[in-house]
Structure 1
Amino acid sequence: MPRHRLTLDARSPSIIVPLTGRDLTELDEQIGALNAAGAEFGGTPPAGTSPNAVQLFDVVEWRVDFYEPFTAGAGSDPSPAVEALERISAQLPGLPVLATFRTRAEGGDAEISPEAYLALAEALASTGLAAAIDVEYRHALAGDAIAAAHRHHTPVVASTHDFAETPPAEEIVARLAAMEDAGADVAKIAVTPRSAADVVTLLSATEQRFRVAGIPLITMSMGGLGAVTRLGGGTFGSSATFATVGAASAPGQLPAEGVRSALDLLRTGSAPGLL
């Protein structure tokens, strides 16, 4: 059972910030920056906790595909990733961690075999330190990875990305529905807009699916053109947004402090979802 329970609610979308360190030194530096930013935003946190960081952001996404002690071995041994997750969890005790290995097909920084991908999902879920595991919906072993995470009572964020275009609204809705049908606890889709109409398509599809979905949704248009979806997505049913303290992990991510201010102004009424 994960140490943290992640609560997602489109009325008050969570802010997720990435950790992209390539080794323990870089991870330590990034974690220090997160703690410093949280303290500056909300004051000095009590020893051993991060309540002020939570005021600025709510979840940390650890991008395992950037972590070279794991990827250098092509993912054949998940223990370096497990050890790093333990370190992250110890240094950010008040924050849920979403553990993500993003393959190159989905915009990630490294590639491992399907079998190694599955073994990583099982190993990270088994620690109880990840509040959720990201599983790429179109991965060859997605169903097995979802089942592996659930064996350890770890929720799954199923994800899919389009870096070339924005699919039609009906396809976006169908993908979100298929992720729920596959057993995901959260359905996430990120698309690339080529026009303002594409941004409207993403928001419309989000609203359509949100009306009938049984799980929380996370949706966004990437890049500068889609930035509005990272701020106002909650109005349409998106329960989280990705923002930065330091390095971004995807095109169009905005600074966390500005996103927090915008979300505080744009709180809307939508049904809650729990992980």
Structure 2
Amino acid sequence: MPRPHLRLDANSPTIIVPLTASDLSGLELDAAAVAAAPAGVAAEWRVDLYEPFTAGSGLDPAPAVAALERLAALLPDTALLVTFRTTAEGGTAEISGPAYLALLDAVAATGLACAVDVEYRHPMADQAIAAAQRHQTAVVASNHDFEGTPATEEIVTRLQAMEEAGADVAKIAVMPRSAGDVVRLLEATERRYRDAQIPLITMSMGGLGAVTRIGGGVFGSAATFATVGAASAPGQLPAAGVRAALELLHG
């Protein structure tokens, strides 16, 4: 049976909820919460939080593939984005370049993930994008800045570079220090949206940037991350409330 695709449209942003459990029983609980969430949500599985994989010798992909198979069985109608967030971009586990590539290749080969996240500044990014697309799995290229908010032109440049690298979706998350930083992220999103040939996902993190998680679609962001359990990044809001807000904004 074909897996659901990750539907992305700034006119009706998709809610993506994180799966953050450290073991299989926890993932099963996460999946049950997603199944009870508002209809139409997608899910992002954070493999860097999953200890059966991160604690393995040499980081063999097999435990991650087995867990993905279980998630797919529990969530047959939910689009699954698979992410290993490296420590360089806010993740929790170390991984070598070859292991990172092997993981994304193995996950994409299953056909169970609608997309894999590839950090566009990772040394293995080009190979990871090519590996995923060989298996006809979409790529969400990503960049996370927990230290601040780059200049508008720099944000636009990064999003454009992701598209030029061959990604199917371009994602950036930044940390605001002022309301002006939030405005800068939204301005950059709108500017890139005019020319982009792929969907964008952008957000300003933390409480200060929460407005971007609700109103980002107006500026061109096609998805937002919201919770049905534990958050995976600062400022994520409960999915039910986000759905209500999006319905008010987008009808």
- Unmatched segments (≥5 aa) in structure 1: 39-52, 269-275
Q: Does 2:34 correspond to 1:34?
A: yes
Kept in 2, the 8 Å contact 1:158–1:186? The answer is yes
Report the CA distance shift for 1:75/1:13 in structure 2 as closer, same or farther (over 3 A). farther
Deviation at 1:34, TM superposition (A): 2.3
Calculate the TM-score normalised by the size of structure 2: 0.97
For residue 205 of structure 1, what is the aligned residue in structure 2? 188
Percent of paired sites with the same residue: 69
For residue 121 of structure 2, what is the aligned residue in structure 1? 138
Letter in 1 for 2:15: I
Task: Indicate the RMSD between aligned Cα atoms, in angstroms.
Answer: 1.3
Deviation at 1:54, TM superposition (A): 2.3
Q: Does 2:220 correspond to 1:237?
A: yes
Q: Does 2:201 correspond to 1:218?
A: yes
Report the CA distance shift for 1:257/1:17 in structure 2 as closer, same or farther (over 3 A). same
For residue 108 of structure 1, what is the aligned residue in structure 2? 91
Letter in 1 for 2:34: L
- Unmatched segments (≥5 aa) in structure 2: none
Q: Does 2:134 correspond to 1:127?
A: no
Kept in 1, the 8 Å contact 2:140–2:170? The answer is yes
Which is further off, 71-80 or 60-69?
A: 71-80
For residue 8 of structure 2, what is the aligned residue in structure 1? 8
Q: Distance in 2 between matches of 1:5 and 1:251?
A: 26
* Equivalent residue runs for 1:52-67 within 5 Å: 53-55=38-40, 58-67=41-50
Q: Distance in 1 between matches of 2:31 and 2:218?
A: 31
Kept in 2, the 8 Å contact 1:74–1:112? The answer is no
* Equivalent residue runs for 1:181-196 within 5 Å: 181-196=164-179
Q: Distance in 1 between matches of 2:230 and 2:109?
A: 28
Q: How many residues align?
A: 251
Kept in 2, the 8 Å contact 1:75–1:120? The answer is no
Kept in 2, the 8 Å contact 1:15–1:241? The answer is yes
Kept in 2, the 8 Å contact 1:217–1:239? The answer is yes
Deviation at 1:4, TM superposition (A): 2.2
Calculate the TM-score normalised by the size of structure 1: 0.89
